[in-house]
A and B are shown apart, each in its own frame.
Chain A
Amino acid sequence: MKTNVQTTKNTPWNITKVGHNTWRGSFSSMASPCEILINCTRRQHAESLVECAYREAKRIESKFSRYQEDNIIFRINNSQGEWVSLDTETTEILKFADQLFQVSEGLFDISSGVLRRIWNFQTHSSIPTQGMIDNMLPLIGWDKITFDSDNQRILLPMGMEIDLGGIGKEYAVDLTLKKIQQMSDSLGIAHGSYLVNFGGDIVCSHKTKDKNKQSESPWVIGIETIDSLKTAPAIELVAGGLATSGDSRRHIDHEDKRYSHIVNPKTGWPIEHAPHSVTVIANTCLEAGMLATLASLQGRDCENMLIDSNTCYWIQ
């Protein structure tokens, strides 16, 4: 007997049909709504792909979340001034963070998370005093950390912390797409198009045998606008990544001055004149996200940097 099982399985994700041969899988991870759009013919395949995406997102979340007490980030942040051995994946991510620190001349710093203790952008409350900031600055600086990538280990001075929040979600988006593609290959899906969206950080791909064939319809991505009077722009993307830095909801308004949520790790103060939101399109979600972040860190020069680096962007 052949039965069509609708989503009666007890899974941590949901799947719905949203169009002709198009499926939408959803779950929650990394404190964001996560969405997988799949263009393939069989529901069974779509389910396998969503399951695979869910596992990868959860794997990365539990491995790198700073809110968990049994992962590598916890071990590093509680190492009491001793060397911590790293696995290869963590080593590679830290190498990447190190390159970002160099290329941003110290503005992108994964050790700056301790500033969260004094800057609370969620509650839109008061701003810290210079004295509070001065107490924090000695605990910030990737250059104070000994990272030995050859021997896969790291040594943090006492009291310092690292946080991969600035990289993790974009990284997870790209890696999840890779997993979906690998799974799709092993399922033998000939023409599958996929979109991964974790809370606005997006990557998509499509597969066609004929490279010259333009029959693939692009994914259409709407950008959330801050000003409700403006119409949301729609971006058509066939393959590539899109990410946004900044969030209109995360800032502090204090004495008629708006403090952006991007803090300069060198001064401990928010970057001035940073745009509310910068959206960048690049080859991968990670590249788009890092370009958006690096541009935001430039403050007033944000747009110049995006123009000079030949980036496709949208500033609000």
Chain B
Amino acid sequence: MQLAKKKRWILASAVGSLLSTQSRAYGADWQAETAYRYYSETDRVTAMEPVLKLHKTESDGSEIDFSIAYDSLSGASPNGAAVSDEVQTFTSTSGAGAAETTTAASGYRSSRDDRDDDDDDDYEGDDEYGGGVREYTVQPGEIPLDPDFSDDRLSISLQYSTPATRTITTAIGGSYSSESDYLSMAINGGLGLSFNRKNTQLGLNLSLAHDENTPFGGVPTRFSKMSEPSSSGSSESKTIVETLISVTQILSPNAVVQLNYSAGMSQGYHTDPYKIITLLDENLDILDYVAENRPDQRTKHSVFSALKYHAFGDTIDLSYRYMWDDWAITSTTVDVKYRLNLGNVFIQPHYRHYHQEAANFYVTQLHSTDDIPDHASADYRLGTLTSTTYGVKVGLDLGKQQEISFRVESFQQEGESAAANLDAVISQINYKVAF
């Protein structure tokens, strides 16, 4: 008798659970995610970034992904000059009427990197600029910061993948991003093969990108002095080719591992047109500031491995990345996330550690007594860097296929130049819905 009642109770709860999940809309398989991120460095840059992502799965297994993001940065950013015991005065080049300077801060760009976990490394030296006919002074002992910079960027990407056969998937995509003085366009194509009863997946991806840099005030002539500014043209460009090979292996219903290798080559203008280097005379007094100059080619490689493991209803995510390039930069990233599932709520602590060795042309200053090198940059992001991120994300399932989550992270960075030392706070709110 009790058994029958118990069975009925089990049945009723199973029905309740099925029908309540079904009140979520399944007919349309659209998923939308909106996020708003706020990034703030102590005394430096602040960034606000609203993002909208749309995802659709078709009944034949095809998937469409669209995303649009806008970021707006403002604040103060290091110009590359060294700290001095004298008052330093800087002029910043710019086109007429452009009363703004633009640049990006390493912490912000690198914190953005934790979104892509496959092919990139923390160092990004590509997308930042400055400008504006202005003069600013920096007090003795202070880090030379370009005080009022702002930058707005719009980026759009579209990706489509479709199963060609039962075991082969093809994908194509494109992206576009634009700033007032920078334009980037990319296309990519990929192939996914599954075998071993779909327990093993091999991915091959090729991408091609073209960047166009149009700095305010023109492209500075390499190593040209701030006291006698000269320009070698109005714009420069860069082409990047990247390949990615990935293997994903399902070890058990609870564990998945992934191994990636990526190689990329870029050709063209890698220099940051707004970064300068302090030039010292024989008495080690400041003689002038010169424009930096980076090699026009870069080849980089990275390996990435990740493990996702489900246990006791929770999920642990571990990943490790090693990157090296022909500028002698090497970097390692370790990332750990633990998702604690508590019914409708989840709590996910996050830890990340990043270490980078300097590029072989990284300098803190140049000396007038020495020969001018082929390449040199004092951009702290090319120097030795160590950063640590601690954070937590809390998510709440609102039912009806909706989820809201909050993330707060603290980012701390140290490096060989004073400019590299910074603290930042990242906060983000996310809302996901399917309809």
* Partner-B contacts on A (CB < 8 A): 55-56, 59, 63, 70-72, 79-85, 87-89, 92-93, 95-96, 99-100, 103, 148, 150-151, 153, 155, 171, 174-175, 178, 282-284, 286-287, 290-291, 294, 304-305, 308-311
25 contacts across the A-B interface (CB closer than 8 A): A70-B60, A71-B59, A82-B197, A85-B61, A87-B26, A87-B29, A87-B57, A88-B24, A92-B17, A92-B18, A95-B18, A96-B18, A103-B10, A155-B197, A171-B18, A171-B22, A175-B19, A286-B15, A287-B11, A294-B7, A294-B11, A308-B4, A309-B4, A309-B7, A309-B8
B4 and A150 contacting across the interface, CB-CB below 8 Å: no
What residues on B are CB-neighbors of A150 within 8 Å? 253-254, 310
What residues on A are CB-neighbors of B61 within 8 Å? 85
For the complex, is B27 an interface residue (Cβ under 8 Å from A)?
yes
For the complex, is B12 an interface residue (Cβ under 8 Å from A)?
yes
A93 in contact with B18 given A56-B27, A151-B253, A308-B1 (CB within 8 Å): yes
What residues on A are CB-neighbors of B1 within 8 Å? 308
A89 and B197 contacting across the interface, CB-CB below 8 Å: no
A103 in contact with B18 given A70-B59, A70-B60, A308-B1 (CB within 8 Å): no
B18 and A286 contacting across the interface, CB-CB below 8 Å: yes
For the complex, is B109 an interface residue (Cβ under 8 Å from A)?
no
For the complex, is B115 an interface residue (Cβ under 8 Å from A)?
no
For the complex, is B199 an interface residue (Cβ under 8 Å from A)?
yes
Interface hub of B17, B19, B166, B254 (most chain A Cβ within 10 A): B19
A-B contact count (CB 8 A): 94
Secondary structure dominating the interface of A: helix
B11 and A290 contacting across the interface, CB-CB below 8 Å: yes
Interface positions of B from 137 to 183, Cβ below 8 Å from A: 166-167
**Closest residue to A174 on the B side, CB-wise?**
B19
**Closest residue to A147 on the B side, CB-wise?**
B253
B7 and A103 contacting across the interface, CB-CB below 8 Å: yes
Min distance, Cβ A306 to any Cβ of chain B, angstroms: 8
Min distance, Cβ B10 to any Cβ of chain A, angstroms: 5
Min distance, Cβ A2 to any Cβ of chain B, angstroms: 33
In the A-B complex, list the 3 residue pairs whose CB atoms are closest, starting with the nearest: A308-B4, A83-B198, A309-B8
What residues on B are CB-neighbors of A84 within 8 Å? 198
CA–CA, A150 and B19, complex, Å: 19
16 further contact pairs, Cβ within 8 A, besides A92-B17, A309-B5: A55-B27, A59-B27, A82-B166, A83-B199, A85-B61, A87-B26, A88-B24, A95-B18, A99-B10, A99-B11, A150-B310, A283-B15, A284-B15, A286-B19, A294-B7, A304-B4
B14 and A96 contacting across the interface, CB-CB below 8 Å: yes
Chain B interface, number of residues (Cβ within 8 angstroms): 34
What residues on A are CB-neighbors of B7 within 8 Å? 103, 294, 309
CA–CA, A87 and B55, complex, Å: 14
Min distance, Cβ B198 to any Cβ of chain A, angstroms: 4
A290 and B29 contacting across the interface, CB-CB below 8 Å: no
Min distance, Cβ A140 to any Cβ of chain B, angstroms: 21
Interface hub of B1, B11, B59 (most chain A Cβ within 10 A): B11
A100 and B14 contacting across the interface, CB-CB below 8 Å: yes
A92 in contact with B22 given A71-B59, A150-B310, A151-B253 (CB within 8 Å): yes
**Closest residue to A59 on the B side, CB-wise?**
B27
**Closest residue to A283 on the B side, CB-wise?**
B12
What residues on A are CB-neighbors of B198 within 8 Å? 82-84, 153
What residues on B are CB-neighbors of A82 within 8 Å? 166-167, 197-198
Interface positions of B from 52 to 79, Cβ below 8 Å from A: 57, 59-61
What residues on B are CB-neighbors of A81 within 8 Å? 197
A178 and B60 contacting across the interface, CB-CB below 8 Å: no
Interface bits B1-43 vs A (CB < 8 Å: 1, else 0): 1011101101110110111011110110100000000000000
Min distance, Cβ B63 to any Cβ of chain A, angstroms: 11
Interface positions of B from 211 to 262, Cβ below 8 Å from A: 250, 253-254
CA–CA, A151 and B15, complex, Å: 22
**Closest residue to B21 on the A side, CB-wise?**
A92
What residues on A are CB-neighbors of B199 within 8 Å? 83
What residues on A are CB-neighbors of B254 within 8 Å? 150
B23 and A178 contacting across the interface, CB-CB below 8 Å: yes
CA–CA, A85 and B161, complex, Å: 15
CA–CA, A282 and B12, complex, Å: 9
**Closest residue to A289 on the B side, CB-wise?**
B15
What residues on A are CB-neighbors of B11 within 8 Å? 99-100, 103, 287, 290-291, 294
Min distance, Cβ B240 to any Cβ of chain A, angstroms: 33
**Closest residue to B8 on the A side, CB-wise?**
A309
Interface bits B385-398 vs A (CB < 8 Å: 1, else 0): 00000000000000
Min distance, Cβ A221 to any Cβ of chain B, angstroms: 20
CA–CA, A104 and B19, complex, Å: 20
Interface bits B297-316 vs A (CB < 8 Å: 1, else 0): 00000000000001000000
CA–CA, A295 and B8, complex, Å: 11
What residues on B are CB-neighbors of A153 within 8 Å? 198
Min distance, Cβ A127 to any Cβ of chain B, angstroms: 31
Interface hub of B18, B26, B61, B166 (most chain A Cβ within 10 A): B18
**Closest residue to A290 on the B side, CB-wise?**
B11
CA–CA, A87 and B59, complex, Å: 9
What residues on B are CB-neighbors of A282 within 8 Å? 12
**Closest residue to A155 on the B side, CB-wise?**
B197
Min distance, Cβ A312 to any Cβ of chain B, angstroms: 12
B197 and A308 contacting across the interface, CB-CB below 8 Å: no
CA–CA, A63 and B58, complex, Å: 12
A83 in contact with B29 given A178-B22, A287-B11, A287-B15 (CB within 8 Å): no
What residues on A are CB-neighbors of B253 within 8 Å? 148, 150-151
Min distance, Cβ A142 to any Cβ of chain B, angstroms: 15
CA–CA, A75 and B349, complex, Å: 39
A310 in contact with B18 given A151-B253, A155-B197 (CB within 8 Å): no
What residues on B are CB-neighbors of A55 within 8 Å? 27
B14 and A99 contacting across the interface, CB-CB below 8 Å: yes
What residues on B are CB-neighbors of A148 within 8 Å? 253
B15 and A290 contacting across the interface, CB-CB below 8 Å: yes
**Closest residue to B13 on the A side, CB-wise?**
A99
A175 and B22 contacting across the interface, CB-CB below 8 Å: yes
Interface positions of B from 175 to 199, Cβ below 8 Å from A: 197-199
